[in-house]
């Protein structure tokens, strides 16, 4: 692809873009529209240091408003640095990428439902490789309506026959209540809270049983093999509970 000049509509700052790295991001929530190399921020120096920008015309100029892909809000240097690292890491990942041939259907016909806790790496903990399983994550690893929605697709269209529900020790959802969240988000009206289910965990084993049963009893799902596990964040070991 030939180099092309891209101009910001707001501040008319030129940017040279090379080799297909340009991207246009439309944020459907805030309506922000950003066109440029990765994002409209001064990230050129970090990307160059990571070996991403190698062409003489690859350079990024700082936006007058320091706009990000998240909207017209100032972005902290820490956020910029994190995004730089992620994008640079993706370039390295893509250079060695060899999984483009994998089918949509998971090879092990498996879904793993687990918590979003950053300490958990479900693929590593269970010996899964790309293409093996669908992994659904949320706060607490709860079987919410949206998890059922995904399971309908996995089981109905993509051949899944086995589900693992994996909760874990030290879960933050066992330490908070709906009232705690309401106290922090006090500007939200009571009527909005009425329909909101936090799915907090009062008893870990009971919550695991409830989630396993929610999969087994859903009328939207076919008969499935469902297992309940507890992952120990201190040791990395899993224990089958159900």
- Each domain of the chain, given as residue ranges in start order, spans 4-95, 110-240
Average pLDDT over residues 83-109: 97
Confidence band of 191 (pLDDT split at 50, 70, 90): confident
Q: What is the pLDDT of residue 75?
A: 80
Asked whether residue 29 carries a pLDDT value surpassing 90, the answer given is no
Contact 168, 115 (CB under 8 A): yes
* Gap between the Cα atoms of 33 and 157, Å rounded: 35
Retrieve residue 13's tokens: 């700052």
pLDDT at position 17? 37
Residue 93: Cβ-neighbour burial (10 angstroms; 0-12, 13-18, 19+): exposed
* Structural fold of domain 110-240: Beta-carbonic Anhydrase; Chain A (3.40.1050)
Instruction: Give exposure, 154-185, as e/b (b: 16+ Cβ within 10 Å).
Output: bbeeeebebbbbbbbeebebbebeeeeeeeee
Could you give the CA distance from residue 117 to residue 77 in angstroms, rounded to a whole number? 25
Helices (H), 96-242: 122-126, 145-157, 178-184, 190-194, 204-217
Residue 111 dihedral angles phi and psi, to the nearest 5°: -120, 135
Is residue 230 a contact partner of residue 241, using CB atoms and an 8 Å limit?
yes
CB 3 within 8 A of CB 57: yes
Model confidence band, residue 241 (pLDDT cutoffs 50, 70, 90): very high
pLDDT in the model for residue 74: 77
Which pLDDT value is given to residue 47? Answer: 44
Q: Which tokens hold the place of 230? A: 């507890």
At 189 the pLDDT is 87
| Nearest-10 crossing angle of helices 145-157, 204-217 | 40
| Residue 139 near residue 115 (C-beta atoms within 8 A) | yes
Banded model confidence at residue 71, pLDDT cuts 50, 70, 90:
low
% of residues, the chain, pLDDT over 70: 70
* CB neighbourhood size of 36 (10 A): 24
Higher-pLDDT residue of 11 and 194 is 194
């Amino acid at each position: 692809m030939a180099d092309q000049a891209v101009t910001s509509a707001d501040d008319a700052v030129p940017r040279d873009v090379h080799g297909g790295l340009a991207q246009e991001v439309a944020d459907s929530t805030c309506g922000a529209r950003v066109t440029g190399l990765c994002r409209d921020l001064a990230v050129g120096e970090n990307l160059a240091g990571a070996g991403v920008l190698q062409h003489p015309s690859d350079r990024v100029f700082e936006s007058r408003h320091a706009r990000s892909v998240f909207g017209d809000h100032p972005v902290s240097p820490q956020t910029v640095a994190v995004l730089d690292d992620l994008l640079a890491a993706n370039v390295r990942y893509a250079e060695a990428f060899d999984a483009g041939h994998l089918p949509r259907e998971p090879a092990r016909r498996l879904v793993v439902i687990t918590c979003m806790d950053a300490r958990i790496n479900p693929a590593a903990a269970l010996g899964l490789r790309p293409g093996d399983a669908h992994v659904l994550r949320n706060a607490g690893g709860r079987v919410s309506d949206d998890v059922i929605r995904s399971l309908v697709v996995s089981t109905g269209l993509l051949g899944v026959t086995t589900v693992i529900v994996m909760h874990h020790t030290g879960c933050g959802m066992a330490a908070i209540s709906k009232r705690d969240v309401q106290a922090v988000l006090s500007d939200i009206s009571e009527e909005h809270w009425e329909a909101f289910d936090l799915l907090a965990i009062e008893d870990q084993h009971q919550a695991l049983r409830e989630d396993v049963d929610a999969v087994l009893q859903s009328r939207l799902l076919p008969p499935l093999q469902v297992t309940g596990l507890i992952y120990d964040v201190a040791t990395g070991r899993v224990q089958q509970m159900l």
